[in-house]
Structure 1
Amino acid sequence: MKVLIVEDEQLAADTLESMLLELNSEIEILDKIDSVKKAVKWLSENEADLLFLDIHLADGKSFSIFEKVDIKTPIIFTTAYDQYAIKAFKLNSIAYLLKPIDEEELEEALEKYESLKTSSSGVDVASILRAIDQKEAAFQKRFMVTTGEKIRSILIEEVAYFMGEDKYLYLITKDNKKYIIDSTLTKLEQLLDPERFFRINRKFTISFDSIKEMVAYSKSRVKVELEPPAPYDLEAIVSVDRSGSFKKWLNR
C-alpha cells in the first residue's frame, strides 16, 4: 500500500506515519506534503494507493486541491475541529479521523479502505463544501443540570469550559458555578460548535471566551489562564499533539 500524507503539522505527520507503519509494516509512505500548492503539484505528477488529507492546510482548505486535480485515489480525511462535516463524509462513504488520531480508529479506516478500494465511487466535494460552509449546524445549545432537587437548563453562552476530574465531567459557567453533567469530553467534541470550543487536553475543553491570557510553555505548548480560574489550581496546558491545531483555531 503506497500512501501519501498531506498534513502541515510536522508532529502530526510524523505521528501518523509511525502509527501506519506500526499497523502495517508493508505500507510505503511516498511523501509527506504540507500545503495545497505542493499537493497539487505532487498529485499532478504521481499516484498513490491511499491519501491521508488534512482539511486545514497552511495555504487554505485542502478541498481546493480537487478544483485543480482530478483525484481518483481513495481518501481518508483528518481534522481537528470540523465535526460538522462528518455527516457529509459519511454520506459520501469517506473515512475521516478526528485529531489526535486514535490507533483503533486508524486501523478501522485502513480496514474500510481494503474493503472499498475496488469501488469506483468518487468524492462528492460539493456536498462536503456545503457541510463545511453551513451556517446553522445542529450543535447543542443547552445543558440540563441538577443541584439537589432543583433542575435548570444552562445556555451554551453561559459556559466557560468543561473539565474532567475524578471520573466526573464538570460544566463551569462564566459566573464560576460548577455542575456535574452526564457526558464525556470525547462525546462533547461531537456536540459543541468548534468555532467556539476547543479541547486542549484530556481534562479541558474551553470556550474562546474563557481565555484570559496565554503564555508560551515548554515543548511548543501553550499555557492558558482561564476566567474563571480552574478549580483545585489545575493548570490548563494545551497538549503537544493539540498545540498546532489550537494555534490554527486561535487564528481562524
Structure 2
Amino acid sequence: MKVLIIEDEPAAARRLKKLVIEILPEVELLPVLESIAESVAFLDQQPAPDLILLDIHLADGASFEIFQHVTVKIPVIFTTAYDQYAIDAFQVNAIDYLLKPIKREALAKAINKFKGQQVAPSIDYQKLAQQLEIRSEARFLIRLGQQIKLLDVKDIAYAYTEDRITFFMTNNGRRYPVDYSLEKLEELLPEDRFFRINRQFIVGLSAIEEMVTYSKGRVKLTLQPAAEQDTIVSTERSPVFKKWLNAY
C-alpha cells in the first residue's frame, strides 16, 4: 500500500510517518510533499498512491487548490485543526478527517475505513471548501516544460492572445503561457480588477497607466508593463468599460 503525506509542518509530518508505519508495517511511504505546487507536479506525473494524508492548509495556500489542477480519484484523509462546524461539513461529504494533534487510534480507524472501501468516495472538494469557508486568493497553474508554477492573481497585469496562444503578463514584466482561452479567463479573473477590452486583451485595472480618447468613441490605453500591440477598447466595449471604471 502506497501512502502519500502532504504536510508542511516537519514535526507533524514526522509523527504521521511514524504512526502510519506502526499501523501499516508493510506500507510504502512516498516522499513527503509540502506545497500545492509540489503536490500538483507529483500527482500529475507519478503513478497514483493508494491513499493521501493531506493537511488542509499548506505553505502556499489551501490544499483544496490541488484538486483544481489535477484529478484525484483515490481516498484522501484530511488533517485539520478546525472546530465542530468543520467536522460537520466533513461528515456531510463522507470524507474522513483527523484532528490535530493526531492520535494513533483515530488514524488507525480512518485507514481501516478506507482499506474496507471498494471504490473511493465521489467528493466535490470545491463545495467542501465553501462549507468550511476557506477563502484563498485565486491562482493559476503555469507549466514551463517540466516545471510547474502557481501564479497569484495579484501578480497579473493583463492577459492577451498572440498566434493563438494565451499569455499572462505579470506586474514585473514576465510573460507566461496559460492553458485557458480569454473567454475562460473572463470567468476566472475577478471582475472588479479585470476587464475584457477587445478580442485580444483582458486588462487589469492596476496595469492601466494612461487612457486617451480615440476614434469612433473608443479608448486607447497605455499599460504598464508596456504591451507590444495597441490596446484599444473596442467600440462596443467602450461604454461598458467606462461604467466599469466608475464602478470600481
Correspondence list, 1:21-32, <5 A: 21-32=21-32
**Which residue number in structure 2 is paired with residue 84 of structure 1?**
85
In structure 1, distance between residues paired with 2:11 and 2:54: 15
1:14 equivalent in alignment to 2:26: no
TM-score, normalising length from structure 2? 0.52
Alignment of 1:103-182 (within 5 A): 103-116=104-117, 118-133=118-133
Contact 1:88 1:127 in 2 (8 A): no
Structure 1 match to 2:103 = 102
CA shift for structure 1 position 134: 8.0
Asked if 2 retains the 8 angstrom alpha-carbon contact of 1:75 and 1:95, the reply is: yes
What secondary structure, in the 3-state scheme, does the structure 2 residue paired with 1:89 have? helix
The CA deviation at 1:82 is 5.3
Amino acid at match of 2:37: K
Using the alignment, how far apart are the partners of 1:14 and 1:56 within structure 2? Answer: 17
- TM-score for both structures, normalised by structure 1: 0.51
**CA 1:123–1:43: 2 relative to 1, 3 Å:** same
Contact kept? 2:90, 2:128, Cα under 8 Å: yes
Distance 1:71 1:134 in 2: 20
Alignment partners' CA distance in 1, 2:120 and 2:134: 28
Secondary structure of the corresponding residue to residue 77 of structure 1: strand
After superposition, the C-alpha distances for 1:171-224 in whole angstroms (9 at most, x for unaligned) are xxxxxxxxxxxxxxxxxxxxxxxxxxxxxxxxxxxxxxxxxxxxxxxxxxxxxx
Q: Which sections of structure 1, spanning at least 5 residues, go unmatched? A: 136-252
Relative to structure 1, is the Cα distance of residues 101 and 120 closer, same or farther in structure 2, using a 3 angstrom cutoff?
closer
Deviations 1:78-130 (A, max 9, x none): 012354322221122111000000111011001101112x1243221132122
Tell me by how many angstroms 1:15 deviates. 0.7
* AA matched with 2:26: E
- Secondary structure of the structure 2 residue equivalent to 1:34: coil
- Distance, in Å, in 2 between the alignment partners of 1:125 and 1:54 is 14
Greater Cα radius of gyration, structure 1 or 2:
2
RMSD, matched Cα: 1.7
Report the equivalent of 2:60.
Answer: 59
1:44-77 CA-to-partner distances (Å, cap 9, x unmatched) read 0121000000000000000000000011111000
Cα distance in 2 for residues equivalent to 1:120 and 1:114: 10
Work out the CA distance in 2 between the residues paired with 1:56 and 1:44: 20
**Structure 1 residues 39 and 95 mapped into 2: Cα distance closer, same or farther (>3 Å)?**
same
CA distance in 2, matches of 1:51, 1:102: 17
Amino acid at match of 1:67: Q
Does the 8 A contact of 2:6 with 2:34 survive in 1? yes
Gaps of at least 5 residues in structure 2 are 136-248
Q: Percent identity?
A: 46
CA contact (8 A) 1:7 1:54 kept: yes
In structure 2, how many angstroms separate the alpha carbons of the residues matched to 1:33 and 1:8? 7
The match for 1:36 is 36
Secondary structure at the counterpart of residue 33 of structure 1: coil
CA separation in 1, counterparts of 2:95 and 2:84?
14
For each residue in 1:14-67, what CA deviation from the matched residue of structure 2 results, as whole angstroms up to 9, or x when unmatched? Answer: 110001101111011012000011000001012100000000000000000000
Query: What is the alpha-carbon distance in structure 1 between the residues aligned to residue 36 and residue 106 of structure 2?
Result: 25
Letter in 1 for 2:79: T
Q: What is the aligned partner in structure 2 of residue 48 from structure 1?
A: 49
The runs of at least 4 aligned residues of structure 1 exceeding 6 Å deviation read: none
